């Protein structure tokens, strides 16, 4: 019986060492990749009422405008599909299974790194999303008519 207890204790200890450490508060972490090539860890990723994204629980955090962000990437030990590269004319969502959809992305809710987005009138849970890449179109320059 003593040997059984020792083995069981050893298994529990090993399993605790092999578990992935959860982010602060237990929520998932996201990486924010910016248009300028830099990136930051978000723990948790949230969106304020004014539409700015934040990377912490700090109410004083200024946050980031969507136009500053190239894409979001879930931070996980699971094998992810390839990250989106290049520019897109429409927002791109890459699911954990590798499937991709193009179309405008609206955030329905985003709190504590979880939430829902709407793309092409379809509601998607962030728990199945690997990447969200934003389209950054340059405004068209119109030529002025000479008089």
Query: Could you read off the pLDDT of 63-120 as tens digits, one per residue?
Result: 999 999 999 999 888 889 999 988 889 999 999 999 999 999 998 888 887 889 999 9
pLDDT, position 110: 81
pLDDT, position 8: 53
138 pLDDT band, cuts 50/70/90, is low
* Residue 3, in any domain of the structure: no
**Number of domains observed in the structure of the chain:** 1
Choose between 34 and 47: higher pLDDT: 34
The Cβ of residue 96 has, within 10 Å, a number of other Cβ atoms equal to 16
pLDDT, position 97: 94
What's the rounded Cα separation, in Å, for the pair 44 and 38? 18
24 pLDDT band, cuts 50/70/90, is very low
* Residue 147, in any domain of the structure: no
56 pLDDT band, cuts 50/70/90, is confident
What's the rounded Cα separation, in Å, for the pair 139 and 68? 15
What values do phi and psi take at 90, rounded to 5? -135, 160
Q: Which domain holds residue 33?
A: 20-133
* Residue 88, in any domain of the structure: yes
What is the mean pLDDT of the segment spanning 2-29?
A: 52
Q: Which is nearest to 112 in space by CA: 59, 58, 45, 52?
A: 45
pLDDT, position 3: 64
* Residue 60, in any domain of the structure: yes
* Residue 143, in any domain of the structure: no
User: Does the structure show a pLDDT above 70 at 18?
Assistant: no
pLDDT, position 9: 55
pLDDT, position 44: 81
* Residue 145, in any domain of the structure: no
12 pLDDT band, cuts 50/70/90, is very low
* Residue 53, in any domain of the structure: yes
């Amino acid at each position: 019986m003593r040997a059984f207890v020792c083995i069981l204790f050893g298994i529990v200890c090993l399993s605790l060492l092999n578990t992935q450490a959860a982010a602060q508060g237990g929520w998932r972490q996201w990486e924010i990749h910016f248009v300028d090539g830099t990136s930051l860890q978000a723990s948790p990723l949230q969106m304020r009422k004014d539409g700015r994204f934040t990377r912490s629980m700090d109410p004083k955090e200024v946050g980031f405008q969507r136009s500053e962000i190239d894409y979001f990437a879930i931070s996980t030990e699971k094998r992810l599909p390839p990250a989106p590269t290049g520019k897109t004319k429409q927002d791109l969502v890459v699911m954990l299974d590798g499937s991709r959809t193009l179309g405008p992305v609206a955030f329905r809710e985003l709190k504590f790194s979880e939430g829902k987005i709407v793309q092409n009138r379809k509601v998607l849970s962030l728990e199945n999303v690997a990447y969200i890449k934003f389209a950054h179109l340059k405004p068209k320059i119109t030529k002025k008519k000479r008089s």
